[in-house]
Amino acid sequence: MKLAMLYAVLCTVFMLTLTACAADNAVTATPAPISNTSTESNSTTPIALAKPRLILQITVDALRGDLAKRYAHMLGDGGFRFLMQHGVDFTNAHYQHANTETIVGHVSLATGSVPAAHGMVGNVWFDREKGRLVYNIEDARYHLLTAGADVDKKTEIDPTQKAAKVDGRSPAAILSSTFSDELAEHYNGKAKIFAVSVKDRGAVSLAGHAGKAFWFSKSSGEFVTSTYYYQQYPDWVNQWNARKPALAYAGKSWELMQSPAKYLFGDADDREYETDFPGYGRTFPHPYGAADDKYLTTRLTLSPAGDELTLDFAKTLLDNEKLGQDEVPDYLAVSFSSTDYVGHLFGASSLESEDNIGRLDRTLADLLAFVDKKVGLKNTLIVLSADHGQPEIPGYLHDLGIENSHYFDTKALDKTPAITALKKKFGIGEELIEAYFQPYVYLNHNLIRDKGLDQAEVEKAVATELEKFDGVAAAVSSIALRTASLPDTLLLRSILRNFHPKRSGDIYVVFEPNVFINDFDGLTVASTHGSPWRYDTYVPVMFAGAGLKSGEVSRPVTPYDIAPTLSAYLGVKPPSAAIGNPLPEVLGY
């Protein structure tokens, strides 16, 4: 009986999610024409699609949809400009789920679906059965091949490290198939599938269940993997790691590409509200540290150097694994993480972010030139997007006269007079709020049960009080999400799409626009993403290569459309929980 009830709840939530997404997309059912000089782009007859030898999926962590064009003066010809001028550039792409964090976006790109279906509701969540916080891709069954490569460094700017105590990684927690899984299945395991990133979750998510993933270990300064993928490293990986490319940066610094006068933010290098990371500073040049500095590798990831290391490893992988060299399409996902880390420290509107975009552009150009040499861009279908956008720093907004931006102190949630009054009302003398892990408040279930209280009543009462806090836009009870007893608004739809009965917390908290939390693992950072507001949902979607005709498309699309589009292009079935729609401009309609 309990299983039947749970199944009914899950079906209801998933169907509500699909209905909400369909409602949001209803206005885009008829695609607008591409802005293209060719008249063939409006044809209703599909062109004959040549099967590519390689699918290259590029993800730039935290690349807000406007940043490449905003810093166009930093761009060369072979990176972003190539994608914009020789591909299909969708300029109005937004996620439709509420928690815009790294794992959520990466898995949404991989599956073409929302967290309610693929299960990755946040970078971390509190597992009630285990009684602890879990990291999204932790898996004790599959330890890392490099001993000590998962050692937690206290200087991380990433809260997921609070949960990363399990020596092991796998994609087991992803509840949907990915495009790469479907590609492997379609070609009977003959398609070569790889993913590379500085972040483990950036690689594991896109490799899916059937591919192989590598990521950068700050502890070892190497690219590593787990026994889920290999029992021992391929020789070429050992050779790459033996070169110790990270040490080539020792004693050097991140320096500006050009003179300050050529930058939009050239006269705004030293701002007190930027993060002064130990040994790194707020101003150029940013030193990486000596070879024996234990934080050398961490500083590399906080700069364009992290992307450069990822590029070098990806090129080595493509060459040694001989991707794109036969008639069976192969898949390579490369997730570049530096834009996210730079944004956390300095914000999107900073000299560091501006220079980083310029260096990222060179990195992209290098990657595309290498793929052209080894495979041929005419034989490669390229897609570039991001896992989420990023906001502005409150200090920067204050400089512009926008004063309604500030940081929210989550540690005070259980200590305010309103919550104290609730404790008195319910006869509770202990802490009612057990924890807050973005974006969820977790209540003390044992306490509520021992007091004989009604869980739904307590959740509703706490949510009501939380909504009275300065800076809180909405606080939504999970009981209300389970029963769908909520008004039909865009914000609540996005929260519903983030809801998974077994993983979501008790109350989903949404802060007002430009209100943020900034305490990540003991380090105060300048900028944080994770909201349902447009600056966090706005990302680029660009397809290029494989003979695609160029054009700019301004009609609304979503990143969930990418996986179904790749599936349709290759003629494979879409991922199991996909809700996105194939993009006709890419398919030649």
Residue pLDDT, tens place only, 315-370: 999 999 999 999 999 999 999 999 999 999 999 999 999 999 999 999 999 999 99
Based on the fold, state whether residues 298 and 192 are members of the same structural domain: yes
Kindly state the greatest CA–CA separation across the chain.
72
Q: Percentage of the chain with pLDDT > 70?
A: 88
Residue 39 has pLDDT above 50, yes or no: no
User: What pLDDT is attached to residue 427?
Assistant: 85
User: What pLDDT is attached to residue 12?
Assistant: 44
Based on the fold, state whether residues 442 and 346 are members of the same structural domain: no
User: What pLDDT is attached to residue 165?
Assistant: 75
Active site residues per annotation: 102
Mean pLDDT of 21-35: 36
Based on the fold, state whether residues 324 and 457 are members of the same structural domain: no
Residue 291 makes CB contacts below 8 A (sequence gap 6+) with 247, 250, 251
* Three-state helix/strand/coil letters over 69-107: HHCHHHCCCCCHHHHHHHEEEEEEEECCCCCCCHHHHHH
Instruction: Tell me the backbone φ, ψ of residue 85, rounded to 5 degrees.
Output: -90, -20
Mean pLDDT of 455-471: 92
CATH of residue 515: 3.30.1360.150
Q: Band the pLDDT of 16: cuts 50, 70, 90.
A: very low
Mean pLDDT of 434-455: 92
pTM higher than the cut 0.85: yes
* Low-confidence winner among 20-34, 56-70, 96-110, 192-206 (lowest mean pLDDT): 20-34
The alpha carbon of residue 583 and the mean position of all alpha carbons in its chain are separated, in whole angstroms, by 21
Residue 63 has pLDDT above 80, yes or no: yes
Based on the fold, state whether residues 276 and 134 are members of the same structural domain: yes
Place of tokens 């409006």: 42
User: What pLDDT is attached to residue 151?
Assistant: 56
Q: Please check whether residue 415 is in contact with residue 120, taking contact to mean a CB–CB distance below 8 angstroms.
A: no
Average pLDDT over the chain, rounded to an integer: 89
Based on the fold, state whether residues 431 and 389 are members of the same structural domain: no
Other CB atoms closer than 10 Å to residue 404's CB: what's the count? Answer: 12
Which is more confident, 363 or 8? 363
Q: Band the pLDDT of 414: cuts 50, 70, 90.
A: low
Q: How far is CA 172 from CA 100, 141, 431, 437, in A?
A: 21, 10, 34, 22
Mean pLDDT of 423-437: 84
- Name the residue range of residue 373's domain: 54-398+532-545
Domain count of the chain? 2
In a domain, 6, yes or no: no
In a domain, 424, yes or no: yes
User: What pLDDT is attached to residue 419?
Assistant: 77
Mean pLDDT of 488-505: 95
